[in-house]
Amino acid sequence: MDVYGYVRVSSMDQNGDRQMMALRDMAVPEKNIFMDKQSGRDFDRPNYKKLVKKLKAGDLLYILSIDRLGRNYEKIQKQWRVLAKEIGIDICVLDMPLLDTRGDRDLMGTFIADLVLQILSFVAQSERENIKRRQAEGITAVKAKGVKFGRVLSVLWVSAYFPNLLLAIKLAE
């Protein structure tokens, strides 16, 4: 049995130190920790794909929280089934002890774990939708105040690429 860890942050400017520390506390070997810096909307992530290819029946995968796995309700459910049922690994979500497939579970334990997974997957997707909504509202509010988005073209930049344009501007003055 090999032990793995998965870390995901949503953007390049975020860091996964908190997640990495939690995985190190669980004695996950550094070489078995896979990290992606991209959205959780789908599972088309390069290091996640590499991780899944390495996993084999009996392995253990640690994830700090279910929203680090993903933020799409249906896709989280599908990936959980692929990992736990099709590949046959154990999954341990560190911040939610009910989402730990290790050990023998009776029918009631499995039912409760499935129910918790459903709820937390829903919450993860809802949070993603709220983030997108708040971002759109913020952009609309700032635009209403007259703030312009995009790259500002300086005279130096324009003159470097369009030497005749600067001359034309000076002649027009």
pLDDT on residue 96:
87
The per-residue pLDDT for range 52-86, each reduced to its tens digit, is 999 999 999 999 998 898 888 888 889 998 998 89
Query: How far apart are the C-alpha atoms of 150 and 62, rounded to whole Å?
Result: 40
Indicate whether 45 pLDDT > 90: yes
Which are the catalytic amino acids? 10
SS3 (DSSP) at 140: helix
E strand or H helix that includes residue 5: strand 3-9
Decide: 41 and 72 in contact? Cβ < 8 Å.
yes
In 19-125, DSSP assigns E strands to 33-37, 60-63, 90-93
A 10 A CB-CB count for 90 gives 18
Split at pLDDT 50, 70, 90, the class of 3 is: very high
Task: Identify the structural domains of the chain with CATH numbers, from first to last.
Answer: 3-123 (3.40.50.1390), 130-172 (no CATH)
Indicate whether 156 pLDDT > 70: no
In this structure, what DSSP letter does residue 100 have?
B
Helices (H), 96-154: 107-144
